[in-house]
Structure 1
Amino acid sequence: MEHRDLNTTLALEEKLTRWLHNDDERMHALRTAAKLDLPQWCLAAGFVRNLIWDTLHGFEYASALEDIDLIYYDAGVISEERDRDFEHVLRSMSNHPWSVKNQARMHKKIGVKPYHSVVDAMSYWPEVETAIGAKINHRQEIEIISPFALPLLVNTTVTINSKHPELNTAKNRAADKGWFKKWPKLVFKD
């Protein structure tokens, strides 16, 4: 990686970290999720992506957290019941709308080879910009997690992920969720 690219990535990571720190609701969710201390965990998808798009659109208040996707990777126990148990624990600590998914089993949903980590799983998500997460590490610092370079993610594009087996999924999700109405500066990028 060139020095300039590293500086850009570090600057974007600092910017994202600042945006998260300035959002009390997201910080509360991060601190709550950290208490579970799940392997390779992060709060991902719309949790970070929507904050980016809101901020780049100049919206003063971040989008409501309609659901909070807590993902983790544990190949030892992959039952959906375990994820529901974690959701119950999280809801007992906060009234956020939690959705917990062990990425060790999620490859079955789209029919690809088993994932070997959270980052590997994220690399198959339908839109590149959705494949971003954040966590609070053991040093109590925010850590940004993504299989893609931050300059690809911190913008107003919706990029179809060529690794996802169903390329229309991104366009269908964008339409179903009303992304282009909510964030009018967004553009599709193939």
Structure 2
Amino acid sequence: MQDRFLADVLANRHNRAILERWDDLALPDAWLVAGCLFQTVWNLQSGRPPEADIKDYDLFYFDAGDLSEAGERAVQARVDALLGDLGVCIEASNQARVHLWYESYFGHPYAPLHSSRHGIERFLVPSTCVGVRPGEVCAPYGLALLYDGVLGMNPLVPHRDLFERKAASYRARWPWLRMAADAATPHPAA
């Protein structure tokens, strides 16, 4: 299923261009994550263009040596310089500092992360917990939930209010997605 996922992700020309320039980014523990990946898959499954309605392209990186906003802004400026010609919004986020701002932004506490992969496994919806970088896929809950269009609440981030808003947003764009019982959501593989 990973081969199918990579083929689908690369059908999106922006994902492909970002991954082609990966070495130039030179970000520590970096991954292309989330919406630009799972939304590409769902667009293809819906017969839509792969890039349709994708708001932004998220890059996670992990730099525990610089938890400052200024450091993250400097990384964002470098990303903009390297990828700005793509004409899409690309957001770089240092996963080592998410715990510093998450509660004030989302209203829920968030424990410090120890890697970018750790951040990927903590998205609100397990079927969307995906990341790629050249030669590697991160899908801590597997890919079946993504391809089956199953939306369940992540037990690692049990914020029902945030989950329900996110799931409603996804179902408005891809009405065929279906809700799962919370108990049916698997835990990440060890």
1:27 aligns with 2:16: yes
Q: Work out the percentage of aligned pairs sharing the same amino acid.
A: 24
| Bigger relative contact order (CA 8 A; separation at least 6) | 1
1:171 aligns with 2:169: no
Answer whether contact 2:11 2:50 (CA < 8 A) is retained.
no
Distance 1:106 1:150, change over 3 A: same
Out of 95, 118, 123, the position equivalent to 2:121 is 123
Distance 1:83 1:122, change over 3 A: same
By how many angstroms is 1:69 displaced? 0.8
Task: Give TM-score scaled by structure 2 length.
Answer: 0.81
The aligned length equals 172
Letter in 2 for 1:146: A
Matches within 5 A, 1:34-183: 34-95=23-84, 96-108=88-100, 109=102, 110-136=108-134, 141=135, 143-175=136-168, 178-183=169-174
Answer whether contact 2:32 2:57 (CA < 8 A) is retained.
yes
Distance 1:75 1:14, change over 3 A: same
Answer whether contact 1:103 1:121 (CA < 8 A) is retained.
yes
Pick the structure with more helix per residue.
2
Task: Give TM-score scaled by structure 1 length.
Answer: 0.81
Specify every segment of 5 or more residues in structure 1 that has no aligned partner in the other structure, as ranges.
1-11
Answer whether contact 1:56 1:156 (CA < 8 A) is retained.
no
Other structure's SS at 1:94 match? helix
After superposition, the CA RMSD in angstroms is 1.9
By how many angstroms is 1:128 displaced? 0.9
By how many angstroms is 1:14 displaced? 0.4
Specify every segment of 5 or more residues in structure 2 that has no aligned partner in the other structure, as ranges.
103-107, 183-190
Answer whether contact 2:25 2:82 (CA < 8 A) is retained.
no
